[in-house]
Amino acid sequence: MARTPCSLQALGQVNALGKSNAEIAPRLLAGDTSGLTLRDDLVPERSLLFGAVRDPLPEIPARLARFDCRNNRLALAALEQIGAEVDGAFSRFGRARIGIVVGTSTSGVSDAEEAIAVRERTGRLAREFDYAQLEFGGLAGFLAEMTGARGPAYTLSTACSSGNRALASARSLVALGLCDAVISGAADSLCGLTANGFASLGALSERITNPCSRNRDGLTLGEGAALFLVTRDPGGIQLLGVGESSEAHHISAPDPEGNGAETAMRGALADAGLAPADIAYLNLHGTGTPQNDPMECAAVSRVFGNALPCSSTKALIGHALGAAGAIEAAFCWLVLAGQTGDVLPLPPHVFDGERDPELAPIRLVTKGESAHVGARTRVLTNSFGFGGNNCALVLGRDRDS
């Protein structure tokens, strides 16, 4: 039976590389780390690099003041970039047929932290704070109110796989005929709670994250948002396959053998009807932690061998947690959109160049490298979350679309 098409018809995104596809794409391919900034306000007595989005961000309308938090402003910055396409979907399908599925892991925690600090000083929460800013469902609720979409609207929070799982759910809503279009992706904002949580795990690097290096010592945190308009239209850039697993190995550490990661990748390939040799590029989860890189490299090597071009893009923007999957799917979208003839530009794997000999020797993309592809280009992106929540996506484009 033919699969229902799932078009990633339009994309808006913001992260440490910039605030538009046009700004982000060249910096992504150049391996630009200049968007990372030192901050000493998130982890006491430590000055660390973070992938923060530059201010200013769009203002939340006064009528939606209860949703006014940094996380929703990041989402609004992405939404504004696809406003014309969303309006076209409303005209084409009607507002009741447009859904919203998004992911987050922080929601408005940073604004809640500020409100609590005000309470410590004055005895009252900050006047601007509303619980709708903090709850996970607030992100979907805000986007529904902002756009006027009246279809299903909900938020997923499965740690660092949230963005990928949101896109997977959007595809299901479209394929099942429950929606004609879905606004889908994720947003996450930097906050002290998350930064100190990772610090307590000993997982934060003192420098730029260094995935696959013998010198890696942890991750760099980031923030951002990416939103797609998902439809069942043929052509263009398509979400072709989804693979998910829930290994439940440990609350914060992956299965060291990478079995859950392997299951997700093989599931995505099977769902797309593809063989490993059909994939032209793989975006690694690639956090640069001692636990992630060995299991992911081993799993990638078992599935694809050691010739497939791979890279982690987290050294450029930091690990955006619940938004990471959506942002890295957006990077794959940019790669596919930037294909010229049979030449596919590839994001480089930015690290110190000192490969860890203990890791499976997968092929890491160098700056300026491209892949030569045929008429059908397929790429895969990995996202692995706490608790063993794993999700891999296959994106693709045919040359004549």
Residues tagged active-site: 160, 285, 319
Q: What is the distance between the alpha carbons of residues 344 and 348, in angstroms, rounded to a whole number?
A: 12
* Cβ contact 32:316 at 8 Å: yes
| Residue type present at position 35 | G
How many secondary structure helices (H) and strands (E) does the chain include?
Answer: 12, 16
3-class state of residue 38 by DSSP: strand
For residue 334, give both structure tokens.
Answer: 């940019």
- From residue 287, how far is each of 212, 221, 290, 352, 383 by CA, in Å? 9, 10, 9, 14, 10
For residue 53, give both structure tokens.
Answer: 């989005």
* Cβ contact 342:376 at 8 Å: no
Neighbours of 307 (CB within 10 A): 9
Q: What is the distance between the alpha carbons of residues 170 and 175, in angstroms, rounded to a whole number?
A: 9
For residue 229, give both structure tokens.
Answer: 């308009």
For residue 293, give both structure tokens.
Answer: 């890189």
For 180, how many CA atoms within 13 A lie in the half-sphere containing its CB? 13
DSSP string for 375-394: SEEEEEEEEEEGGGEEEEEE
**Residue in this structure with the two tokens 């979400």, named with its chain if needed:** 239
Q: What is the distance between the alpha carbons of residues 333 and 237, in angstroms, rounded to a whole number?
A: 7
* Cβ contact 6:235 at 8 Å: no
**Residue in this structure with the two tokens 């005209």, named with its chain if needed:** 91
